[in-house]
Chain A
Amino acid sequence: MRDFILKRVAALILPFVCVYGFYVIFHGHISPGGSFAGGIIVGLSFIAFSTIYGIEKGRAKLSEDVLTWTESFGTLWYGIMGMVGIFKGVPFLANKLAGIDLGLPGELFSSGLISYIGLGVGIRVASTMITIFFTLMEDEE
């Protein structure tokens, strides 16, 4: 696409879309949305970038290797957070039992491991969305 206005507007908006996605991810435990919705928004910002600026530029920003790594380790992060409980001598995925300060309900830094788990899920969802998009685009060519 060679539309000048579209490119300028996208350049202005897309960074904010991406940041908003992370906002939704990090506020998953205290507001509507969550890591899945947030991850979709983050993924969408890259998908929109690749659609507007061309698939090659999108690929240059996030190569296949990077996507494989984020996809795998986003999910592994969940497992690592689950292991915290085990290291503290309590069951898998334990949160308060593992002695983590849960903070005050409704505040950003509350609910212990939940928000960290959300980050992993969000990254995983975002990279999966982008991978699916790239795969579909490649099939079309």
Chain B
Amino acid sequence: MGNGVTKMTEAIKFNLPVFVVIAPLFIAIVLPVFARRIRLAEGMVIFVGVLGLAGALFLAHIVLDRNSGTWIYQMGGWPAPWGIELTVGNLAASFLLVVMGVSLPVSLFAVGNLTHEVGGKQRTARFYTLFLLLVGALAGMALTNDIFNTYVLVEVATLSCCGLVSSRRHPRAAEAAFTYLMLATLGSALVLCGIGFIYTITGHLNMGFASQALNEIWQTKRHVVWMAMSLVFVGFAVKSALFPLHVWLPDAHSSAPSPASAILSGLAIKGYMICLLKFFYSVFGPGLIKEFAMDRLLVLAGMIAIIAGSVMAIPQDDLKRRLAFSTVGQAGYIFLGFGLMNKDGLAGALFYLASHAVIKSTLFLSAGAMISATKKRKISELAGVGRRMPVTMAAFTAASLGLIGIPLFSGFIGKWYLITGSIEAGSFLPTVVIIAGSVLCATYLFPVIRVAWFESAPKEPQKAAAQETGDAAVQRETAEVQEGPVQHGQLKDPGILQKLALVLLTVAIIVLGTVPGPLLELAKRAAAELLVLR
């Protein structure tokens, strides 16, 4: 009996990398059957979330423990050039931890709170299916070591994102989803072309083998390598909303239901960034990045994105749109860090990625809670919300401080490492831009905090303010939202699970800001690993 149990634990431990990927995927496809018993379906989603987080924590523990080398899992027992490999390294473990750590609170927030936004049990079940498919695909992106497998996971993630964006019954959501579908498909096509070029010249789909082959032949096939690199870069840049290619993001992320916005802004675009990082550093290698000046391009694009995204966020009066534009700006930091080509910069980018995932989900979830309680989307109409919804607004405030980069909150540590990295890289412009980005971030987030905490609630809804803006789509949205009766007496914090989700995320922000130890260690080791010249 005892022998059987140890055998089972051994089997689970041995197969953990594949379990964290397939558990969400297979539960996702079974969920439609339980559409009529939505409580059961929700319970399954939470269960998978808890299991996934436990698995991710255990994998991170193993990776931190063994200190060097990566754990390679061969699917079906086939060795590398033929089979598909999953690698559990520092990068994979840290991103997996982020994915599972953010998706569990988001699903907690969604439980019992979706029907008014999505409508109907069938549609709610479909939402959870797409949600879990996205989580599984992101976990796969973290672990896979095969470039075509990456592409498949990218497609799964993209299509489930489209579904999540369109899950609200509203013309604006459908429009946003269509724009996203078109641009994301374009991005996928570019990535696929890049993969095709890599496969044509190297004959390998495994990242390690492709990288080896590329290092041997790149001098004779300079243009092909350059093309492949550019295609992969632009493809993933479209999907992760790097500044000039971000046009789909504000609509898509602001018109989705709040839990979907949280996971789209917090995790989905990060998955594509991790894919880009893997392609650039694990396939092409740091040498080729420098050779084709991709590092300078990344830094430049990152700087432009930080400034442009933040500046565009300032005039937005719609709360979720402001947060969506802020995502465009914050994505810039991560791209900038990817291009710094030193240990501090890359570790900073990875830590900032984790911290932004947590912070932006908190912001979107608390914004969603405020919007569904007040039935208003405008920042100027949120006066006095802080007094009535203290927990929600406290979470929003903590997340805002984290995003700005106040010490003791997680954003600070990421920005600190990015700044030391950029000073080490010898260029001072990125340093200035990072600090300017923080100031701009304060410019667009402090007004929300001021209005919500320090202004007293108005006597009647101000409809005049809604008609001043020219954005017709926003007006339609506002009109739709305002249909419900506005009762200021009932304005209070959301249910216990929603509060729990917000508290968990806020605690995560503060813990990452005060004791960043393990995650920072993983990020540093991952950076050191990626920067090794082969």
A residues in contact (CB < 8 Å) with B: 68-69, 71-73, 75-76, 79, 82, 85-87, 89-95, 97
User: Once the chains are docked, how many angstroms separate the CA of A106 from the CA of B402?
Assistant: 62
User: Once the chains are docked, how many angstroms separate the CA of A85 from the CA of B18?
Assistant: 12
What are 21 A-B contacts defined by CB distance under 8 Å? Answer: A68-B33, A72-B29, A76-B29, A76-B30, A79-B22, A79-B25, A79-B26, A85-B76, A86-B11, A87-B11, A90-B77, A91-B15, A91-B73, A91-B76, A92-B15, A92-B18, A92-B76, A93-B76, A94-B76, A94-B77, A97-B77
User: Once the chains are docked, how many angstroms separate the CA of A93 from the CA of B19?
Assistant: 12
Q: Which of B11, B25, B30, B75 contacts A93 (CB 8 A)?
A: B75
Contact B18 A91 (CB under 8 A): yes
Q: A68-B35, A72-B30 are in contact. List 14 more A-B contacts (CB 8 A).
A: A69-B33, A72-B32, A73-B33, A75-B29, A76-B26, A79-B25, A85-B77, A86-B11, A86-B15, A89-B14, A91-B15, A94-B76, A97-B76, A97-B77
List A contacts of B29 (CB < 8 A). 71-72, 75-76
List B contacts of A71 (CB < 8 A). 29, 32
CB distance from B7 to the nearest CB of A (A): 8
Q: Is B212 an interface residue (CB 8 A)?
A: no
Q: Mark B2-35, 1 if CB is under 8 A from A, else 0.
A: 0000010001001100100010011001111101
Which residue of chain B is the closest to A82 with respect to CB atoms?
B22
User: Once the chains are docked, how many angstroms separate the CA of A48 from the CA of B30?
Assistant: 28
List A contacts of B35 (CB < 8 A). 68
Contact B11 A95 (CB under 8 A): no
Which residue of chain B is the closest to A96 with respect to CB atoms?
B77
User: Once the chains are docked, how many angstroms separate the CA of A94 from the CA of B75?
Assistant: 7
User: Once the chains are docked, how many angstroms separate the CA of A71 from the CA of B73?
Assistant: 29
User: Once the chains are docked, how many angstroms separate the CA of A116 from the CA of B26?
Assistant: 17
List A contacts of B31 (CB < 8 A). 72
Which residue of chain A is the closest to B15 with respect to CB atoms?
A86
CB distance from B28 to the nearest CB of A (A): 9
List A contacts of B32 (CB < 8 A). 68, 71-72
Which residue of chain A is the closest to B129 with respect to CB atoms?
A72
The answer to whether residues A92 and B11 also contact, given A68-B32, A72-B29, A72-B33 and a CB cut-off of 8 A, is no
Q: Is B74 an interface residue (CB 8 A)?
A: yes
Pairs A-B, 4 closest by C-beta atoms? A93-B76, A97-B77, A92-B18, A79-B26
List A contacts of B74 (CB < 8 A). 91
The answer to whether residues A89 and B11 also contact, given A72-B29, A76-B29, A76-B30 and a CB cut-off of 8 A, is yes
CB distance from A7 to the nearest CB of B (A): 33
User: Once the chains are docked, how many angstroms separate the CA of A93 from the CA of B76?
Assistant: 5
Interface residue count for B (Cβ, 8 Å)?
Answer: 19
Q: Mark B76-108, 1 if CB is under 8 A from A, else 0.
A: 110000000000000000000000000000000
List A contacts of B76 (CB < 8 A). 85, 91-95, 97
Q: Which of A73, A82, A92 contacts B30 (CB 8 A)?
A: A73
List A contacts of B11 (CB < 8 A). 86-87, 89
User: Once the chains are docked, how many angstroms separate the CA of A69 from the CA of B35?
Assistant: 11
List A contacts of B26 (CB < 8 A). 75-76, 79
List B contacts of A89 (CB < 8 A). 7, 11, 14
List A contacts of B30 (CB < 8 A). 72-73, 76
List A contacts of B14 (CB < 8 A). 89
CB distance from B159 to the nearest CB of A (A): 14
User: Once the chains are docked, how many angstroms separate the CA of A75 from the CA of B14?
Assistant: 24
Contact B22 A91 (CB under 8 A): no
User: Once the chains are docked, how many angstroms separate the CA of A87 from the CA of B14?
Assistant: 12
User: Once the chains are docked, how many angstroms separate the CA of A85 from the CA of B76?
Assistant: 8
User: Once the chains are docked, how many angstroms separate the CA of A76 from the CA of B32?
Assistant: 12
List B contacts of A72 (CB < 8 A). 29-33
CB distance from A63 to the nearest CB of B (A): 13
Query: Chain B CB within 10 Å — which of A72, A86, A91, A97 has the most?
Result: A91
CB distance from B36 to the nearest CB of A (A): 9
User: Once the chains are docked, how many angstroms separate the CA of A86 from the CA of B17?
Assistant: 12
CB distance from A72 to the nearest CB of B (A): 5
Contact B33 A91 (CB under 8 A): no
List B contacts of A69 (CB < 8 A). 33
Q: Restricting to B27-53, which residues have a CB under 8 Å from any CB of A?
A: 29-33, 35
Which residue of chain B is the closest to A69 with respect to CB atoms?
B33
CB distance from A36 to the nearest CB of B (A): 15
List B contacts of A75 (CB < 8 A). 26, 29
User: Once the chains are docked, how many angstroms separate the CA of A94 from the CA of B83?
Assistant: 11
CB distance from A116 to the nearest CB of B (A): 14
CB distance from B51 to the nearest CB of A (A): 15
User: Once the chains are docked, how many angstroms separate the CA of A76 from the CA of B15?
Assistant: 18
